[in-house]
């Protein structure tokens, strides 16, 4: 029976970052039209962003056509060292000179209710929706937590998060600090044209194994079941 995910085994985090960067830029080269992407944070993100920036400078990939969104953000100032936006700005957006109008950050420094409303309005303004009105992003990059969480969709999330049909939702009780976060929701992850998971390190072995199991109960397992195909770049042997 065909699997609904593809594993791409790499030799380490740098090789993984380089492979994902190469494949994404090759995908961009095939399309001259607009492209929408959502970025994530996490330990692998810095290496991945640096790999994309370095390769894009020599490949001529059409990044000027890309609109950048975020899969989640901590409710912090954008200058905070823990901000997912800051990580991308310093390692990807500024090195490539991405235009301000192409950057659609989650406003973690705003009141969460206002920030979510702004995020939902902005993604719907830029990204076309499917028949159910869910924005269909061209690409979403995810990292995997040791508990199997993706974005800020945590295990044992309340119904208000699990069942939310809006593109973004406020998470007020994250078990990982800070407790207040903004996150993309399950319907947007299910609807995206491409979802690529970047997962590395021995601490993620159990989470990845659980997620890939037919009976997996992690947030990432839920995403996998909702999609026809997800690509997983990893240095963890299957």
pLDDT per residue as tens digits for the range 113-136: 999 999 999 999 999 999 999 999
Domain boundaries of the chain, sorted by first residue:
5-234
Q: Going along 18-155, which residue ranges are E strands?
A: 35-39, 66-70, 72-74, 139-143
Reduced to 3 states (helix: H, G, I; strand: E, B; else coil), residue 155 is: coil
Residue 2's pLDDT is what?
A: 53
Residue 1's pLDDT is what?
A: 40
Residue 237's pLDDT is what?
A: 85
Architecture of domain 5-234: 3-Layer(aba) Sandwich (3.40)
Number of CB atoms found within 10 A of residue 128's CB = 10
Distance CA 28, CA 34 (A): 9
Burial class (CB in 10 A: 0-12, 13-18, 19+), 167: buried
Q: Of 179, 178, 189, which is closest to residue 219 (Cα–Cα)? A: 189
Below-70 pLDDT ranges, the chain? 1-2, 238
Q: Of 81, 85, 80, 82, which is closest to residue 70 (Cα–Cα)? A: 85
């Amino acid at each position: 029976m065909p699997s609904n995910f593809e594993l791409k085994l790499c030799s380490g985090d740098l090789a993984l970052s380089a492979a994902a960067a190469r494949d994404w830029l090759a995908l961009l080269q095939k399309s001259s039209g607009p492209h929408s992407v959502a970025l994530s944070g996490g330990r692998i993100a810095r290496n991945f962003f640096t790999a994309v920036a370095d390769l894009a400078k020599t490949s001529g990939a059409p990044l000027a056509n890309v609109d950048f969104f975020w899969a989640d953000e901590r409710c912090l100032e954008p200058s905070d060292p823990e901000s997912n936006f800051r990580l991308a700005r310093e390692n990807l957006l500024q090195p490539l000179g991405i235009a301000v109008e192409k950057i659609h950050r989650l406003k973690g420094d705003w009141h969460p209710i206002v920030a979510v409303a702004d995020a939902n309005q902005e993604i719907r303004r830029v990204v076309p929706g499917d028949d159910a009105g869910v924005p269909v992003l061209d690409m979403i990059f995810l990292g995997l937590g040791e508990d199997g969480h993706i974005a800020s969709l945590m295990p044992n999330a309340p119904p208000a998060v699990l069942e939310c049909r809006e593109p973004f939702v406020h998470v007020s009780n994250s078990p990982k600090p800070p407790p207040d976060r903004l996150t993309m929701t399950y319907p947007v992850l299910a609807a995206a044209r491409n979802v690529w998971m970047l997962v590395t390190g021995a601490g993620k072995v159990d989470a990845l194994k659980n997620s890939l199991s037919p009976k997996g109960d992690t947030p990432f397992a839920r995403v996998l079941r909702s999609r026809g195909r997800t690509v997983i770049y990893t240095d963890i042997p299957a």
